[in-house]
Structure 1
Amino acid sequence: MRILVINPNTTPSMTAKIGLSAQAVASDTTEITTLSPDKGPASIEGFYDEAYCVPGVLEIIRKGEIMGYDGYVIACFDDPGVDAAREIATKPAIGICQAAMYAASMVSTSFSVVTTLPRSIPIIERLAQHYGMTHFCRRVRAAALPVLSLEDPHSNAIEQIKAEIYQALEQDRAESIILGCAGMSDLAQWLSCETGVPVIDGVGAAVKMVEALIGLGLKTSKVGAYGFPLPKPYQGDFAPNQWES
């Protein structure tokens, strides 16, 4: 099977890191391709960045459909454009937040999310509600660090994340931890060993879930909300990307 993993931001080092994390958990028979848009924000830190990354994500998925990929992972914890992606994808498309929360709910009775900036907290809280995960989610915490600091080997980002995890275990009584940024994907296994609890990376969780859906022969339903977009003219920069049935 062939899975296309999309980093919605335009930072090459993060795309490479996400690709390695995806490859590390993929089955031997799974081919992973990792791409990012050629336009959009360098990092995604709020609704504005989300809005500007979505057109590039959808463009990649449209090309993926033509190239015959079997499934898609959108590797940003805000799950930007997932519903729109499912409208144009015939194959499974999963966001890493949804995948991580569902995985955590299967290995523990509660989780806390450790993300980057405080402004991401209400966004992730809304996603937890949207996915029916508020019963499991003890708290969304921020380590108060910019996303791009995760790409800087001289920053103290790892120590800040670890400290926030220990606070979540003590104060929230969380039984598992979710890393709330794809840029943290390479830390999950190490942090699990350090803390003694499941620390879940959404990139890996999403890859394995897409593999499972493909193995079950499931595709995205085209009855109702995820039906193909209705054909209509688009103006300006989006005109070449109008939907053609």
Structure 2
Amino acid sequence: MRDIHILVINPNSTASMTQKIAAAARAAAGPFSRITAINPLEGPAAIQGPADGEAALPGLFDLFERSLKTDPSISAVIIACFDDTGLWELKAKSRVPVVGIGEAAYHVASVAAERFSVVTTLSVSVPVLEENLQRTGLAARCVRVRASDVPVLELENPESDARHKIEAEIQAALRLDGIGAIALGCAGMADLAADLTAQFKVPIIDGVASAVRLAEAITA
């Protein structure tokens, strides 16, 4: 098997989140994969809804183009925002596969269970994710996109009650939605997936790990 170099781009400018994403990506990667994780230096600190997504595009596109131009070893690119910011534009012009973590999580959740729900951050992101589910062809498999009312940057604050709110929304989904899996709807939740899977005894899908494994599968 050949070596695989996966570039992970966090489209927001929060370096601590990029570090968390990089750790999750490396934990999921196989022995022949190398992970590089980067983020723009400018742009929104978090992507919460379409306005932030639009504001993140210039930095994301510039970083993507410069990275592919200067590093021919890159085998695949992961866009590490669950909104799949800029994903379709980059797929259309990239010389390598481009995978979104939202896209990847939907596909993996649909394999893990016949029906799944998404637990995301704020309600402003819900329409974006619903539109993406339509575009990936998996809207019929997703029962509901649920907002936990957790601002993205609260996931970086160990003193916040973010995890408690996410747990409460997962409990509600499992009680009410008739599902067999949950997709965590934010890259900042990547470090929670394993613990939540053990806690709730159903697959809790992290989009970062899902995207790494799909990128490996299509570039092997």
Q: Please give the TM-score of this superposition, normalised by the length of structure 2.
A: 0.96
User: C-alpha offsets along residues 61-95 of structure 1, whole Å, 9 cap, x if unaligned?
Assistant: 21222201110000001101011112331000011
Look up the match of 2:16. Answer: 13
Look up the match of 1:96. Answer: 101
Are 2:58 and 1:55 aligned?
A: yes
1:204 match: secondary structure: helix
Report matched runs for 1:1-245 at 5 Å. 1-66=4-69, 67-68=71-72, 69-215=74-220
The answer to whether the Cα contact below 8 Å between 2:24 and 2:191 also exists between their aligned partners in 1 is yes
The code of the aligned residue for 1:116 comes to T
For structure 2, the 5+ residue unaligned runs are: none
For structure 1, the 5+ residue unaligned runs are: 216-245
Number of aligned residue pairs: 215
Q: Distance in 2 between matches of 1:137 and 1:34?
A: 29
The code of the aligned residue for 2:178 comes to R
The answer to whether the Cα contact below 8 Å between 1:192 and 1:199 also exists between their aligned partners in 2 is yes
The answer to whether the Cα contact below 8 Å between 1:62 and 1:88 also exists between their aligned partners in 2 is no
For residue 103 of structure 1, report the CA deviation from its aligned partner: 0.6
User: C-alpha offsets along residues 150-209 of structure 1, whole Å, 9 cap, x if unaligned?
Assistant: 000000100110110010000111110000000000000100000000000001100110
Q: Distance in 1 between matches of 2:121 and 2:143?
A: 17
The code of the aligned residue for 1:143 comes to S
User: C-alpha offsets along residues 85-120 of structure 1, whole Å, 9 cap, x if unaligned?
Assistant: 123310000111110000111111011000000111
The answer to whether the Cα contact below 8 Å between 1:61 and 1:89 also exists between their aligned partners in 2 is no
The answer to whether the Cα contact below 8 Å between 2:50 and 2:125 also exists between their aligned partners in 1 is no
The answer to whether the Cα contact below 8 Å between 1:58 and 1:84 also exists between their aligned partners in 2 is no
Q: Distance in 2 between matches of 1:33 and 1:53?
A: 20
Q: Distance in 1 between matches of 2:75 and 2:147?
A: 34
Q: Distance in 2 between matches of 1:118 and 1:44?
A: 12
Q: Distance in 1 between matches of 2:58 and 2:6?
A: 20
1:9 match: secondary structure: coil
Q: What is the CA RMSD across the aligned residues, in angstroms?
A: 0.8
Q: Please give the TM-score of this superposition, normalised by the length of structure 1.
A: 0.86
2:64 match: secondary structure: helix
For residue 57 of structure 1, report the CA deviation from its aligned partner: 1.4
The answer to whether the Cα contact below 8 Å between 2:182 and 2:204 also exists between their aligned partners in 1 is yes
